[in-house]
Amino acid sequence: MSLSVLTPAAAPRSAALPSLSAIIAEGRARQPLLFGAGIVFLLAMLPTTAALLLDDRTVNDIDVWWKPLKFQLSIGLYLATLAWLFGALAPAARRSRFLNGFAAVSVALLFYEIVYMMIQSARGVGSHFNTATPLEGLLFTLMGAAALVFTAFPAALGVAVARQPSPGLAPALRVAVVSGLVLTAVLGIATGAALGINDGHWVGAPASDAGGLPILGWTRQGGDLRVAHFFALHALQVLPVVGWVVARRRPEATGVVWAVAGAYAAFTLYVLAEALLGRPFLPFIG
């Protein structure tokens, strides 16, 4: 299967979108380990959802299984997206031992993080910022170190795409992929550091996740550092989509993509500043 599926040059604008099976086959072709691990995390949501429905214990006043469920979704999409963006590399670059080794380490560390979260949820206690015992303090510290490594991986992939892009990749899409990957790493590490320094995600709010923004759970009673972290980690999905849309009509319009990337970074930093000041995200929505 051609690695040009879902790129602007692949088909006329009127062409139908590929089937789910074609997308899965394409993802596996681009980077099988990342894509396969992403699917595993998404499938793991099924037993976690069952646990959530059957177990009424709480941590931070919400169901003990809600956090690992959200992480499984986020990590699954994160890994599948990284696998897909491998297709923006030149064929020789996709075989890079460094990048594929970095990918393998990232997958292993993410499995460590989610397995520890699941164990802690089964015990009815929290995983993040839990230093109740020396062992839990050590395991949480290792989670922080692991997060630093696997959040840095998109930057390595972004630099590789900038240096060795796939032949025929539209300039606008290339800029979008590179900026999305690099911003994910830079902003993800910065917002993650803010969470660590603050020793939690609440700023000027009660240490409770009850009554937060629906689905996302962000507190409405003060600042929540998870908001900026969320936007930081999803730059690698938002910006390539923007680049794909722009490139379908104006393949050379890199200026538009750079402007969107700059606005996205500024918005993420603004949201971070608002949280640090103890202000909820979009307070007017309730």
φ/ψ of 175, rounded to 5, equals: -60, -40
Rounded distance, CA 128 to CA 179, Å? 29
For the range 40-44, what are the long-range contacts, defined as Cβ-Cβ under 8 Å and sequence gap of 24 or more?
40/76, 41/72, 41/73, 41/75, 41/76, 41/79, 41/110, 41/114, 42/72, 42/73, 42/76, 42/77, 42/80, 44/72, 44/76, 44/114
What pLDDT was estimated at residue 12? Answer: 44
Q: What confidence category does residue 49 fall into, taking pLDDT thresholds of 50, 70 and 90?
A: very high
Least confident residue range of 1-10, 40-49, 113-122: 1-10
Average pLDDT for the chain: 92
The structure's pTM equals: 0.92
Q: What confidence category does residue 120 fall into, taking pLDDT thresholds of 50, 70 and 90?
A: very high
- For the stretch 172-207, pLDDT in tens is 999 999 999 999 999 999 999 999 999 999 999 999
- For the stretch 149-167, pLDDT in tens is 999 999 999 999 999 999 9
Angle between helices 66-85 and 235-249 (to 10 degrees): 40
Q: What confidence category does residue 4 fall into, taking pLDDT thresholds of 50, 70 and 90?
A: very low
Rounded distance, CA 184 to CA 165, Å? 19
Rounded distance, CA 196 to CA 128, Å? 10
**Structural tokens at position 258:** 């750079």
Which of the pair, 8 or 136, is modelled with greater confidence?
A: 136
Are 278 and 223 contacting, i.e. CB atoms less than 8 angstroms apart? yes
Rounded distance, CA 215 to CA 194, Å? 23
Q: What confidence category does residue 38 fall into, taking pLDDT thresholds of 50, 70 and 90?
A: very high
What pLDDT was estimated at residue 131? Answer: 93
Q: What confidence category does residue 286 fall into, taking pLDDT thresholds of 50, 70 and 90?
A: low
pLDDT at 1 over 80: no
Instruction: Quote the strand ranges of the chain, DSSP E.
Output: 58-59, 62-63, 202-203, 223-224
